[in-house]
Amino acid sequence: MTLAVLRCDATPDGGVGHLVRAVSVADAARDAGHEVVVAGAIRSELAQQLLADAGIEAVPAGDDLGILAAEVGATVVHVDDYAVGPDAIEQVHASGALLSSMEDSSFGRRPADIAIDSTIGAERTQRPRDGSGAVLRGIRYAPMRAAVRAARAQREASRPVGPAASILVVMGGTDATGAAGTIAAVCTAARGAGDVTVIARASAWDDVRAAAGDEVRLEEPSPAFLDRARDADLVVSAAGTTAWELACIGVPSLLVAVVANQVAGYEAALSTGIAHGLGTLDEVRADPAAATARVEEALRDLREGRSWAAAGRDAVDGLGASRIVAAWGDALDSRRGGDGSSITARPAGESDALLLLRWRNDPATRRVSRSTGLVPWGDHAGWFRAVLASEDRELYVVEQAGAPIGTVRFDRLEEPEWEVSITLAPEARGRGLAGPVLAAGERAFDGRHPGTRIVAAVLPGNEASQRLFRRAGYELAVGRRDGDFDVLVRRDPS
């Protein structure tokens, strides 16, 4: 099990679309056995509720993704944030972690180990070569939350639309552009429209009523939106993350390109037939009567059995996040070195600081350590410099075919004893490498300190470590304890 940190923000001004995608990826990551944490400014009430419902912890992000990865012990850093710069891959690689990056056409594009553009039709366009590893492009990689997949299963495959159709208006989780009132007025003016429900922040309700009248039903943004969408005859939506969720569920939708980064997706959705459209928000505001006519046309098509919802269900199958997480596994596998004969140890150097902090803060490592808390970068940096300078500690990085897979540390006790401890890289677990890593560290240490007595402190319940040291020739020191730890002594290697 490894940890993935998902970097995104969700604020009243910036919306929650990036977080919705991140939560979808988190769902798939946990299904695949990863632990997850979100890092960023999570200030939207809806975003906070989404994280609480999903049981995902949020932590501050900081400015350096490498330090972030090291401080939370993450093997994968998944970025869904346009503001993160092109140096992200250098920062993440300094910690030895993997960079996974979401982009929307040119928005948020940066070099990454795995670059994902889930815009519909992206696979048919050219992407500049920037040194990225795997490049996943197209709507089949659109991340969908478990709740969306559940709504998809519950939606009737074909539902008749009566003379008074129910319409749902949702302009994003925060509607930072104030589009809800404009679109609600367009919908209430349409012939054949029945109940019109508008999802909007309570602070905007007066504006919506002023634009569309008192008959509209108003609800605050919440995860229950998906239930409303599932049961609606028609949804009018911003052309962001919600648009692909509606397609996955199988709800006929009319899209509005509310902001510039939605235009490419809007045009692709219309060209492939998975949605119909009202135009950009500026176009709707310039000619609301034309937009109302398009709503009436859409309702007429639905009543006469010409729904486009099936095309959306076919295009967006809900498995995009699982495909992204599977690509993480492929990328991590490709980093693995050769066979056990190529495992060697070298003294740690200053450039290893972030790498070793990431391994130290890995959740599985902390659970069996003397201190189980997270170590911040500032504390670790000072400790690491002291270790490198100390005559009473020796620290080795163990590599397999040049790829770091673990560390072995020796701490001087009372002469002539030294205590050994081992940390295996999270991505190296499950490959039978703990024994070879320990042996490589011992060979390096024995070369400098031949005949030295070595002991290990191991929790009694840590069966894996108990087996590791016993197989390596360590025996339980009967009657000797180190706090809660058993003490095992290495037999004379000679």
One domain, residues 285 and 178: yes
Contact in structure between 186 and 196 (CB atoms under 8 Å): no
**Arithmetic mean of pLDDT over the chain:** 92
Please give the pLDDT value at position 456.
94
When pLDDT is averaged across residues 183-204 and rounded to a whole number, the result is: 92
Say if residue 169 is in the same domain as residue 139: no
Domain span at residue 328 reads 3-144+319-333
- pLDDT tens-digit series, residues 441-479: 999 999 999 989 999 999 898 898 999 999 999 999 988
Residue 74 and residue 213 in one domain: no
E-state strands within 372-473: 393-400, 403-412, 417-424, 453-458
Do 99 and 202 share a structural domain?
no
At 13, list the tokens: 């001004």
Residue 340 reports pLDDT greater than 70: no
CATH of the domain at 134: 3.40.50.11190
Tens digit of pLDDT for each residue in 155-182?
876 677 888 899 999 987 677 788 999 9
Both 360 and 474 in a single domain? yes
My answer on whether 102 and 42 are in the same domain is yes
pTM equals: 0.84
Closest CA to 211 of 159, 161, 154, 169: 169
The verdict on 159 and 116 lying in the same domain is no
* 453-458 β-sheet, strand order: 343-347, 393-400, 403-412, 417-424, 453-458, 485-490, 474-482
Residues 103 and 171 in one domain: no
Q: Are 207 and 285 members of one domain?
A: yes
CATH number at residue 431: 3.40.630.30
- The verdict on 377 and 329 lying in the same domain is no
Count of domains in the chain?
A: 3
